[in-house]
Amino acid sequence: PRSTDDFNYATYHTLSEINSFIDALVQENPNLVSKIVIGQSYEGRPLNVLKFSTGANRPGIWIDTGIHSREWVTQASGTWFAKKIATDYGRDAALTAILDRFDIFLEIVTNPDGFQFTHTSNRMWRKTRKPNSGSRCAGVDPNRNWDAGFGGAGSSSNPCSETYRGTYAHSEPEVKAIVDFVTSHGNLKAFVSIHSYSQMLLYPYGYTKTPCRDQAELHEVAQRAVAALTSLYGTKYAYGSIINVIYQASGGTIDWTYDQGIKYSYTFELRDTGRYGFILPANQIVPTAQETWQALMVIMDHTKNNPY
Amino acid sequence: KENFVGHQVLRITPKNEAEVILLKELSQLEHLELDFWREPIDVSLPVDARVPFHSLQPVRSFLAYNEIHYDIMIADLQDLLDAEQQEMTKSRALQ
């Protein structure tokens, strides 16, 4: 594509195509968008993050898509979100107000090694690609690798399991890079990690049944976010804490971010048509992204209106 | 490139806690090489499992013997992946 206007958002793209898209978006919007590289994957790929910013020293909102590489609709939705943010700034009053107060950080391909592997070798690959010493099985589930109840129930110590936690918390460079970014930034106010599939909007905790101290507020925001999402195409979502709505999962992303003091920590599980699982047809990408955007706007707007 | 010809994805709907426990036991049988897209957790949630061709007979027998209800969500995974690739190729050609 010659520009991000020509990019086909209704098809799946390779890693290099997404990286070209990122560079094009930066080039087209130099006063709004920049690319920062927060680290390298195990195989040496850059961990690219788009920064949308209209001023200096702003608090931040983080969004990541595709930490599980085979969940292709997440990376595709992330690409659509990036274009949406660039397009709507200055046109949509709500988004403009958010960007006038906050920076938005968007990591479209959180697990580039795994994503590349799904395109070249194994479409069903979920984990990172680092070899595990003493095992024939490679990779760690990056959503069990965070220092939040690490090693507890709801994660596996078996390197061949899809939920293998790794040998220690933050052992995966893809996770460590975000950890370092979050701690060095020090002023993120919302953190949204997007997965697929099963149609859920979840908040902490996953590793303990103890309700998080902001549960009532997080629940109310989730309720409004899901209502906004559902209003577009009627897609039904469940919402609640991870441990109550899905299962006990230790070492999860948003449990760590919440414990770091990022109150508005949420994770999505995108569309489930009941027919395709991870292999969601490409014609579902844009509707999925559009409905998810409605919910994201509720979370970001609430973050803007409720400083802490 | 890994081939998924004959792999099926089953959507299994346990109707009680006993069936959830049976499905958890099934998930521990490593020789079947099942890939649980949605794990057996609770009666309220369906379970999706990718079953390699070589494990289809034992898995279906297990489910039938224990009278656990399931539907075939994806009849042949490779067919879907081929369609996905064709769609990407077509999109690039149009571009």
B17-43: pLDDT as tens digits: 999 999 999 999 999 999 999 999 889
* C-alpha dihedral (A263, A225, A235, A274), degrees to nearest 10: 0
Q: Residue B65 has what pLDDT? A: 97
Chain-chain contact of A274 with B4 (C-beta, under 8 angstroms):
no
Burial status of residue A236 (CB atoms within 10 A of its CB: 0-12, 13-18, 19 or more): exposed
| A172 in catalytic set | no
Beta strands in chain A (DSSP E): 33-40, 46-52, 60-65, 103-107, 188-196, 200-203, 238-241, 264-270
Using an 8 Å CB-CB cutoff, list chain B residues near A121: 1-2
B2 part of contact set with chain A, CB < 8 Å: yes
CA–CA distance, A261 with A269 (Å, rounded to integer): 23
Inter-chain CB proximity B2 and A121 less than 8 Å: yes
A102-106, A118-122, A151-155, A288-292: lowest mean pLDDT where? A151-155
CB B53 within 8 A of CB B3: no
Residue A37: exposure state from Cβ atoms within 10 A (0-12, 13-18, ≥19): exposed
Q: Does A198 lie at the interface with B, CB-CB under 8 angstroms?
A: yes
What is the least distance, in Å, from the CA of A149 to any CA of chain B? 19
What per-residue confidence (pLDDT) applies to A31? 97
Average pLDDT (B59-75) is: 97
CA distance B2 to chain A (A): 5
How far apart CA B95 and CA B81 sit, in angstroms, is 21
Residues A247, B1: C-beta atoms closer than 8 Å: no
The Cα A247–Cα A262 span in angstroms is 22
Summarize pLDDT for A141-172 with one digit per residue, the tens: 999 999 999 999 889 999 999 999 999 999 99
**pLDDT tens column, A228-238:** 999 999 999 99
Res. A248: pLDDT tops 90: no
Among the partner residues B30, B35, B73, nearest to A124 by beta-carbon distance: B35
Please report the pLDDT score of residue B42 as a whole number.
85
Give the total residue count for chain A. 308
Compute the mean pLDDT over every residue in chain A, rounded to the nearest whole number.
Answer: 97
CA pseudo-torsion sign A95, A98, A104, A106: negative
Contact across the interface for B73 and A274, Cβ inside 8 Å? yes
Hey, is the C-beta of A120 within 8 angstroms of any chain B C-beta? yes
Alpha carbons within 13 A on the beta-carbon side of A108: 29
CA distance B44 to B38: 12
- Any chain B CB within 8 A of the CB of A12? yes
* Partner residue opposite A246 with nearest CB, options B41, B73, B91: B41
What is the pLDDT, as a whole number, of residue B41? 85
Of the pLDDT bands very low, low, confident and very high (cuts 50, 70, 90), residue A198 is very high
Q: 3-class DSSP state for residue A48?
A: strand
Q: Do A276 and B35 touch (CB under 8 A)?
A: no
- Contacts for A159-163: CB closer than 8 Å, 24+ residues apart: A159/A132, A159/A135, A160/A135, A160/A136, A160/B30, A162/A126, A162/A127, A162/B35, A162/B36, A163/A249
Residue A1 has pLDDT above 80, yes or no: no
Predicted ipTM > 0.90: yes
Q: Which residue of B has its CA nearest to A70?
A: B37
Question: Where residue B93 falls among pLDDT bands split at 50, 70, 90?
Answer: confident
Q: Residue B38: beta bridge partners?
A: B48
- Say whether B2 and A6 touch across the interface (CB within 8 A): no
A237 reaches B (C-beta below 8 A): no
Tens-digit pLDDT profile for residues A22-76: 999 999 999 999 999 999 999 999 999 999 999 999 999 999 999 999 999 999 9
pLDDT given for residue A154 in this prediction: 87
